[in-house]
Amino acid sequence: MANNSVNNSLSKSNPTKKKKGRSKKETGKLSFLKLAIHSATILLFLAILFFVLVFIGVFGPVASKQQLQKINNPVASEVFSADGKVIGRYYIENRSNASFEEISPNIINALIATEDSRFYEHRGIDEIALFRVFVKSVLLQNRSSGGGSTLSQQIAKNLYPRTDYGFFSLPVNKLREAIIAYRMERIYTKNEILTLYLNTVPFSENIFGIEVAAERFFSKSPKNLEIQEAAVLVGMLKANNYYNPHNNPDRAKERRNVVLDQMAKNGVITDTEAEKYKAMPMVIKYSVITYNQGPAPYFTERLKPELVRWCKQNKKENGEPYNLFTDGLKITTTIDYTLQFYAQQSMKEHMKNLQSVFDAHWKPRDLFKENPEILKSALRNKEIAGKNTDEKIRTSLFTWNGLKDTTITRLDSLKHYLKLLNTGFIAIEPQSGALKAWVGGIDFRFFKYDHVTALRQTGSAFKPFVYLAALESGISPDKYYPNEQKIYTEYQNWSPQNPHGDYGGYYSMKGALAQSLNTVSVEVLLDAGISNFINTVENLGISADLPVYPSLALGVASVSLKEMVEAYATIVNDGKPVETWYLVEIANSDGKVLEKFNYPPMGEAVVSAENCRAVINMMQAVISDGTGKGIRTRFDVEGDFAGKTGTTQENSDGWFIGLTPNLVTGCWVGAGDPRVHFRTITYGQGAFMALPIVGGFFSKTYNNPKYSYLKNSTFATPGPELYAMLNNPQYKEIPDIEKREWDLADIFRKKEKKEDLKPVDKSATLSQPDKVDKKPVWTKIKDIFKKKDK
């Protein structure tokens, strides 16, 4: 019984034990819940703390609303041609802003469909996109899911580059971008955000913004981009270098097609349209306009110091001076975009061919062995002096077939560049001096030196000034001069020679200039008087040092191409001085004109208009009958045209000046070192070296109906009496004795060979009288009768 009592008491105690076990389980669940809540609270607190720390700038400043209202990207200042086309830029970042209205809807649609399809639905942060990225990236480990950033967040990333915070880098930067994006959406409209984005984003090749990108890859404004072109540019945003259509066309095409699919998916275009555009080939029209490249890099370099001075002297509304490289100034010039293009094109066509002729001309021989001083001088250059010239270096060489990546010794590289011929070309309006084209060399990236302003000997291009001075001195244009080789004992036994060795007969001024006779030009100079000649040349605007020596008639003075063309323009302008001008106006980034510039006022005529017209008439004979006739025969240049070739000693410089009533052009060709030149005058003369650039330029210009006014314009003619004198025969075997009193020696004067003549230092400035007594050269009378009777 007792045992039963014990058992009963034990059995009664069992329910109590079971109840106690359930309480522990419930307690465990409660503890886990408390822990979860506690942890969540801590995480929430940390998240809030993290947000606050980022918000208040502990991890670096976050742009305020005030700062976001004053977003000011560095914007390139642009140089425009007279017809409104960009010809150059000055910048820190190659960026040009476009307004929303200047951007094609094709770009907008492609951008939204590809980069931010819910752009018009969110307020800077797309929670749905972020959740999608979280699921795909974190849970499904799909790295191709995208970043989930809205366009506003991408703007924040572009404007305020990310900072490295180690483990916290991604969350800190993402949160900061989200805060900035949220603020931006409350400051700017959606259209303004789209515009800001497209003006901020990089497009590879150190270019920024849709305007520069459209110009670079399609040579058009963003407003005119077609759907497939817009898809190419938007496709670049994923990885602009990787999808660069110029460097990687196949990749760019694949990416373009992805963008087109996205546009179809989002209903911007139909599936049929998408397939049509995807089937199109990848076609771009690549065009580079930077500091180094573009239609007129030498001109923009010439303009730059003037603009820098202007910026220092002019202040913005905030009192700070303008900055040429960041303030987006719009500079309008007188340059004609098409004429500049024709000048560049003609230069490249001719110089490529001329260089190949030059290389073949010297191939059998060693230029540097025949003239070792060329290399010796070059090796003294500070950039190479002291360096091991036999050391091989990896470099990119300029060639007319494109850049050549090669390994070459410094010495061979130096020789390569020393043998390259270079050039300068300029075109101005003679009535105003407005500059229309400026080509300073063959490639600004490699050759910064501007040959338009370089001083070089002018050769026979100086002769028209001799004949103008003679007319100014009262010498009649129908006076005939003997074409004979003479020794000028008064000038150290100097004896000028004609380049082709042709002597004999008598020439009028017109005939002598047409044939570019050295012998007659010197006689005309001495007839006019050296001091009178120098006075005339200085009146025409030539500022070079002019030695008081008869060789002046042959162009021994060194003058810039710019001054030569201005002097010729003065002649075309009836003797009124012409000064080149090219700056029309400067406006700010919003287009507000800050200053306008006018061409320099014309002064009084410095030489007679009648005599100027007479010299032009003479130079027309150069084109019709003389050394410049290649303009007609080779390039079919029609209409009124005058000009003059020029070739210097040893064929170091080739010149051609081409004139029309409304456009004056000039071209020089030669090597940087005058000792590098053609060996024969066949190739070294101005008619071969320089004339083809002018000829090609006018041929292209005259084939464009836009410039028919140039082709159809006519020169003013001299008065009847002077005109009649100019139309006398240019050449006579024996002068008209009845018309003029001739020295008996003139009748019997005959060509004589001069041997062992010592060359004279042309830089010498001898104080000699302007006129010299002409000593008769007697020959046998029978020599006259060797000529056939007419």
Could you read off the pLDDT of 163-219 as tens digits, one per residue? Answer: 777 776 677 777 888 888 888 899 999 999 999 999 999 999 989 999 999 999 999
- pLDDT at position 389: 84
Considering only residues 724 and 11, tell me which one the structure prediction assigns the higher pLDDT.
724
Give mean pLDDT, residues 71-91.
93
Most confident of 7-16, 30-39, 62-71, 722-731: 722-731
For residue 670, the model assigns a pLDDT of 98
* DSSP states of 698-725: HHHHHTSGGGHHHHH--PPPPPHHHHHH
Mean per-residue pLDDT for 399-419? 94
Average pLDDT rounded to a whole number, residues 67-92: 91
Contact 678, 714 (CB under 8 A): no
pLDDT for 756: 36
Q: Which residues contact 635 (CB under 8 A, 6 or more apart)?
A: 692, 695, 696, 698, 699
Residue 752: closest CA among 495, 525, 551, 507 = 495
| pLDDT level of residue 162 (50, 70, 90 thresholds) | confident
C-beta of residue 565 within 8 angstroms of C-beta of residue 665:
yes
Q: Which is more confidently placed, 487 or 61?
A: 487
Mean pLDDT across 541-546: 94
Residue with tokens 């995807």: 278
Res 763 pLDDT > 50 = no
Query: Three-state DSSP class for 174?
Result: helix
Q: Is the pLDDT of residue 696 over 70?
A: yes
What is the DSSP code (8-state) at residue 757? P
Q: What gap in Å lies between CA 668 and CA 647, rounded to an integer?
A: 10
- Quick one: tokens of 405? 């990546």
Query: Strand locations in 34-179, DSSP E?
Result: 77-80, 86-90, 94-95
- What is the mean predicted confidence (pLDDT) over 270-284? 96
Residue 170: how many other CB atoms lie within 10 Å:
10
pLDDT tens, 372-387?
Answer: 999 999 988 756 766 7
CA distances from 298 to 42, 58, 403, 439 (A): 66, 49, 20, 6
Domain segments of the chain as ranges: 92-123+187-290, 367-419
Instruction: Enumerate helices (H) and strands (E) in the chain, giving the number of each.
Output: 29, 19
Q: Which residues contact 756 (CB under 8 A, 6 or more apart)?
A: none
CB 655, CB 458: distance < 8 Å:
yes
| CA nearest neighbour of 379 among 393, 392, 394, 389 | 389
Cβ–Cβ < 8 Å for 108, 262: no
Closest CA to 543 of 453, 614, 615: 453
- For residues 66 and 571, the model is more confident at 571
- Look up residue 407 and give its amino acid: T
pLDDT category of residue 68 using cuts at 50, 70 and 90: confident
Q: What are phi and psi of 397, to 5 degrees?
A: -95, 140
CA atoms within 13 A on the CB side of 90: 25
Q: Is 164 helix (H, G, I), strand (E, B) or coil?
A: coil
- Tell me the C-alpha distance between 75 and 72, whole Å: 8
Q: What is the mean pLDDT of residues 361-374?
A: 94
Q: What is residue 342's three-state secondary structure?
A: helix
pLDDT of residue 179: 85
What tokens were used for 707? 């410039």
Q: DSSP labels for 435-493?
A: EEEEE-SS-TTT----TTS-EEE-GGGGHHHHHHHHHHTT--TT--EE-----BGGGTT
End-to-end CA distance of the chain: 178
Tokens at 664, concatenated: 């004056």
Under the banding of pLDDT at 50, 70 and 90, the label for residue 12 is: very low
C-alpha distance from residue 3 to each of 7, 109, 210, 759 (Å): 6, 94, 100, 153
554-563, 650-659, 725-734: least confident range? 725-734
C-alpha triplet 82, 84, 86: angle, nearest 5°: 105
- With a cut of 50, say whether residue 10 has pLDDT above it: no
Query: Which residue's structure tokens are 């409350």?
Result: 186
* Interstrand relation of 583-587 and 593-596 (parallel, antiparallel or unpaired): antiparallel
Question: Hey, what are 597's tokens?
Answer: 């510039």
> Residue 713 pLDDT more than 50?
yes
Q: Is the pLDDT of residue 3 over 80?
A: no
Give the three-class secondary structure for 729.
coil
CA torsion through residues 162, 95, 202, 131, sign? positive
Using the predicted structure, report yes or no on whether residue 541 has a pLDDT greater than 90: yes
For the domain with range 92-123+187-290, which CATH number is right: 1.10.3810.10, 3.60.10.10, 3.40.50.2000, 3.30.420.280? 1.10.3810.10
Burial class (CB in 10 A: 0-12, 13-18, 19+), 159: middle
Residue 123 confidence (pLDDT): 86
DSSP class of 771:
S
Note the helical H segments in 266-362: 271-278, 297-313, 337-362
According to the model, what pLDDT value does residue 147 have?
Answer: 56
* Partner residues linked to 455 by β-bridges: 560
Number of neighbouring beta carbons within 10 Å of residue 691:
29
Buried b (16+ CB within 10 A) or exposed e, 760-771: bebeeeeeeebe
Helices 691-702/337-362 angle, 10° precision: 150
Interior CA angle at 260 toward 256 and 264, to 5°?
A: 170
Query: Is the predicted pLDDT of residue 736 greater than 70, yes or no?
Result: no
Residue 277 has pLDDT above 50, yes or no: yes
User: When comparing pLDDT for 131 and 449, which is higher?
Assistant: 449
Strand partners, 37: none
Mean pLDDT computed over every residue of the chain: 87
Q: State the average pLDDT over residues 74-98.
A: 94
What does the block give as tokens for 520? 């007659």
Q: Which residue has the higher pLDDT, 257 or 783?
A: 257
Residue range 591-612: mean pLDDT, rounded: 93
Statement: residue 564 has pLDDT above 80: yes
pLDDT tens digits, residue range 632-682?
999 999 999 999 999 999 999 999 999 999 999 999 999 999 999 999 999
Between 7-16, 200-209, 213-222, 437-446, the lowest mean confidence (pLDDT) is in: 7-16
Write down the pLDDT at residue 773. Answer: 36
Using DSSP's 3-state secondary structure scheme, residue 335 falls into: coil
pTM, two decimal places = 0.81
- pLDDT grade for 788, boundaries at 50, 70 and 90: very low
